[in-house]
């Protein structure tokens, strides 16, 4: 029979064994097989230090890009700076992809998996109102009008951050069990004078072919608390399609509507009917959907019933099944409504971006390293968004993970400006987190895929 002292010794031994077992499990959860000279845990520590060292330079790049924004497919200056930086790091660099896109290939000491990292470079036709000392004064001609140009969607942060990641990972290339493909993409915001653009054009031109990545990661700054990482498994952003509906009637004097076939009335009935496409057709338990009319154009005077009215709108869904259903039902509803009033209608639907679908296995594998980067309490599962992102074209080809990074200071007061606002700005302390997290993801994925 053990005495109290013996029991105390036994308890101490047991606690020590539990502690060692716990540490072993933690190490095993971080370490992966491979031939790198350092363990991933040591490598992550080094990346953390390098991310701090590069922070000031990345902020300088961000401010420069912010002050010199360029519209879609016009990112010549930005692309030139990016390409020169990648060449300076000793990468294999290709330019002119999808007009102004740039790629850089960083190879480790031996063959292994390939991980792609993507940033978008273009700005928006918005006149800046931030009052920042490095605010944009750039203007451009859009649709015959002179407008301001601004990085109102954070692509200046995306581009500068990925340049920082390139610097960090180049410093540890001899410890990487594979290859990192850096993708700097033009025209995410859309370039509608072209048939295809941005990510879709880059994929069409073979950006994912040589080398073929095993996975791809992308990030978007978002107006939530600085350092917060938002993620989903499955849909994170919606598909987007634009539609045009032309209603053809018979015009005449507004005082004698019985002598006309009024396309305004038909258009009004169509607008009302379109609201049932989601509420009475889409199975919303499978994913959200939105149908919105943004423009109604027809007629020239208060007393003239026109011959024609045009409606412009958007369709957004989180899965392809719902997307296709809404397309079919929209055509049926519009055609039958017009026919019921003795008019006719023509429907055009432009399929733009598919939904961004995060690979569930990839997300689940990467969550621990994201939590290590920014703290478990700052990693939040988010509701899918109804905005669109052409990162979807990459994630349609290979496993992808897209996430959001918070850029609003915790002590912020007053209204929070959304993306695409002329007053949109970012908390630059988020940039170090951006560089560290993306670097962590690249390294963790390389080691996991090299098993």
Residue of 122, 189, 241, 262 marked active site: 122
Length reported for the chain: 451
Report whether the peptide linkage leading into residue 155 is cis, meaning its omega lies within 30 degrees of zero.
no
Q: Are 280 and 272 in contact (CB under 8 A)?
A: no
Establish whether 110 is a catalytic residue: no
Rounded Cα distance between 113 and 176, Å, is 10
DSSP 72: T
Q: Are 390 and 183 in contact (CB under 8 A)?
A: no
Establish whether 174 is a catalytic residue: no
CA dihedral 420, 425, 428, 431 (to 10 degrees): 0
Q: Are 430 and 405 in contact (CB under 8 A)?
A: yes
CA dihedral 364, 418, 388, 324 (to 10 degrees): 110
404 forms beta bridges with 220, 230
Q: Are 263 and 308 in contact (CB under 8 A)?
A: yes
Q: Are 266 and 341 in contact (CB under 8 A)?
A: yes
Rounded Cα distance between 355 and 439, Å, is 25
Q: Are 91 and 106 in contact (CB under 8 A)?
A: yes
Rounded Cα distance between 433 and 419, Å, is 19
DSSP 190: -
DSSP 355: P
Dihedral sign (CA 281, 282, 285, 291) = negative
Residue of 188, 241, 389, 444 marked active site: 188
**Cα–Cα nearest to 359, from 223, 200, 218, 250:** 218
DSSP string, 207-238: TTTSS--SEEEEEEEEEEETT-EEE-SEEEE-
**Cα–Cα nearest to 160, from 223, 242, 73, 219:** 219
Phi, psi of 250 (to 5 degrees): -135, 115
Rounded Cα distance between 197 and 304, Å, is 41
- Active-site residue list: 122, 188
């Amino acid at each position: 029979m053990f005495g109290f002292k013996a029991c105390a010794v036994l308890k101490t031994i047991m606690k020590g064994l539990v502690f060692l077992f716990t540490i072993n499990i933690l190490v095993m959860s971080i370490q992966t097989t491979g031939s790198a000279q350092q363990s991933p845990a040591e490598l992550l520590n080094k990346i953390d230090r390098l991310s701090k060292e590069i922070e000031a330079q990345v902020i300088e790049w961000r401010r420069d890009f912010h002050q010199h924004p360029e519209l879609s497919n016009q990112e010549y200056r930005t692309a030139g700076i990016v390409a020169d930086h990648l060449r300076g790091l000793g990468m294999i660099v290709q330019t002119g992809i999808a007009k102004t896109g740039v790629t850089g290939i960083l190879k480790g000491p031996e063959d292994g998996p390939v991980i792609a990292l993507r940033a978008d470079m273009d700005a928006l036709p918005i006149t800046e109102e931030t009052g920042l000392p490095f605010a944009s004064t750039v203007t451009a001609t859009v649709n015959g009008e002179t407008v301001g140009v601004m990085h109102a969607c954070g692509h200046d942060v995306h581009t500068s951050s990925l340049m920082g990641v390139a610097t960090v990972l180049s410093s540890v290339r001899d410890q990487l069990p594979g290859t990192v493909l850096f993708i700097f993409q033009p025209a995410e915001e859309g370039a509608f004078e072209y048939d295809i653009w941005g990510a879709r054009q880059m994929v069409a031109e073979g950006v994912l072919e040589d080398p073929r990545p095993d996975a791809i990661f992308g990030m978007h700054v978002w107006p939530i608390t600085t350092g917060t990482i938002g993620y989903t498994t499955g849909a994170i952003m919606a598909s987007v399609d634009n539609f045009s509906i032309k209603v053809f009637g018979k015009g005449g004097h507004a005082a004698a509507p019985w002598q006309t076939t009024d396309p305004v009335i038909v258009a009004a009935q169509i607008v009302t009917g379109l609201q049932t496409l989601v509420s009475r057709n889409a199975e919303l338990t499978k994913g959200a959907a939105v149908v919105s009319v943004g423009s109604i154009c027809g007629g020239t005077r208060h007393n003239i019933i026109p011959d024609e009215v045009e409606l412009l709108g958007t369709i957004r869904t989180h899965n392809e099944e719902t997307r296709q259903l809404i397309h079919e039902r929209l055509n049926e509803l519009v055609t039958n409504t017009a026919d019921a009033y003795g008019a006719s209608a023509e429907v055009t639907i432009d399929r733009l971006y598919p939904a961004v679908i995060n690979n569930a296995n990839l997300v689940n594998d990467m969550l621990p390293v994201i939590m290590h980067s920014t703290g478990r309490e700052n990693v939040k599962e988010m509701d899918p968004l109804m905005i669109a992102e052409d990162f979807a074209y990459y994630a349609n080809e290979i496993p992808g993970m897209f996430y959001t990074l918070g850029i609003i200071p915790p002590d912020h007061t007053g209204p929070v400006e959304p993306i695409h606002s002329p007053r949109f700005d970012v908390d630059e302390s988020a940039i170090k987190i951006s560089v560290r997290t993306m670097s962590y993801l690249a390294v963790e994925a390389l080691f996991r895929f090299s098993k």
